[in-house]
Amino acid sequence: MKSLSIKDIAVKANVSITTVSFIINGKAKEKSISEAVIEKVEKIIAESGYKPNQIARSLRTGNSNIIGLIIEDISNSFFSRIARLIEDKAYKRGYKIIYSSTENSVDKAKELINMFKSRKVDAYIISPIKGIEEDVKMLLEDGNPVIFFDRNLPDINTSYVGADHFNASYQSIQSFIDQGKKNIALVTTDINVEQIVERYDGYKKALEDNGIKYDENLVLKIHFNQEESETISQIKQLLEQKKIDAVLFATNYLAISGLKVLKQINKKIGDDFAIIAYDDHEAFELHTPGISTVQQPLEEIAENVIKLILKQLSSKAKPENQQIIIPAKLIIRD
């Protein structure tokens, strides 16, 4: 597909070249261009493959056209897939993404924010952890666009995009109960972030609503940064010592460790024993039998993140904050 020029875009949107130019250069609000026109033009730009000449644009606007993305761990396939989607979508709109991992360290997260600040990125997309509230507040006070995704910090007044973890977890447990399961374990991590706590809350509430007594011995909280061999031995202990007929794994890497345990102890998934993994992974579809999974809407999360951040970048006044919570999908396999 040949890229459109500014002129082509103007013709297609039925507006003047000047209007398109104002929108591209983030002056739409200042020039009182209506929301409807902005949306129409941005849609055409996104679909057209048009990429503004960045250097020229940087000179005019003083912007870097770079967005900093801060995630937990790039080797986790949830983050690497969403990073790639965000990167693609931003690039099509003339922005580059640079990213780094916090590894759940508050110190490192603070340093990354400072690094991006010193590199003069235009905006921040952050999967936050507790302890960086003050740093984020400072970014916001300085007028920087900031979007949270995947997890939220309730005390911070900014836009957020994420999946509905409570309901996805609740539905997973409900589906176990509907299959007649009663001794349902949860293997989760000990990191104290909202999206993990919500999965735990959904687990507890579903048991309660079905009159099943919550048993803390069936909840295994794995330490975030430990060796996988340690995780495997803890899951093994849980499965061998407790009477369990179903397990919800709260992350895909925990489910992968769990599948390794099942292979080791030769425990089969079937009528007597079911598992669900939170966050899909290529290994789950290929596994025999296929592993049921909670699929987060990666594409929609990425799309909304980019839309919100571009809206902030093109507005003179800070737009109202939005909390976009997207349902996650329970995929039952085999």
Residues of the shown chain interacting with a second copy in the complex, contacts defined by CB under 8 A: 54-55, 64, 66, 73-75, 77, 80-81, 83-84, 87-88, 91, 96-101, 103, 108, 111-112, 114-115, 118-120, 256, 259-260, 263, 281-283, 285-288
Residue 77 CB, shortest distance to a second copy, in Å, is 7
Q: Provide, rounded to whole angstroms, the least separation between the CB of residue 287 and a second copy.
A: 6
- The CA dihedral of 112, 63, 67, 33, to the nearest 10 degrees, is 140
Query: Between residues 84 and 316, which has the closer beta carbon with respect to a second copy?
Result: 84
- Could you tell me the smallest distance in angstroms from the CB atom of residue 116 to a second copy? 8
Provide the token pair at 122. 């235009």
Of residues 259 and 305, the one with the C-beta less far from a second copy: 259
* Comparison of 217 and 288: residue with beta carbon closer to a second copy: 288
Q: What is the DSSP letter of 218?
A: G
108, with CB counted inside 10 A (0-12, 13-18, 19+), is middle
**Of 162, 151, 127, whose CA–CA distance to 325 is shortest?**
162
If residue 312 lies in a helix (H) or strand (E), which one and from where to where?
Answer: helix 298-314
Q: Using the minimum distance from each CB to a second copy, give the nearer residue, 2 or 213.
A: 2
- In the complex, minimum distance from the CB of residue 228 to a second copy, in angstroms, rounded to a whole number: 11
Nearest approach, Cβ of residue 104 and a second copy (Å): 13
Residue 179: CB minimum distance to a second copy, A: 23
Least distance in Å: CB of 332 to a second copy? 17
Residues 6+ apart with CB under 8 A from 172: 202, 206, 248, 276, 278, 294, 330
Q: Do 308 and 159 touch, CB atoms closer than 8 A? A: yes
Tokens at 274, concatenated: 């079911």
Nearer to a second copy, 139 or 206 (CB): 139
Closest CB to a second copy among residues 95, 160:
95
CA dihedral 197, 200, 204, 210 (to 10 degrees): 120
The CA angle 68-73-249, to the nearest 5 degrees, is: 135
Nearer to a second copy, 11 or 98 (CB): 98
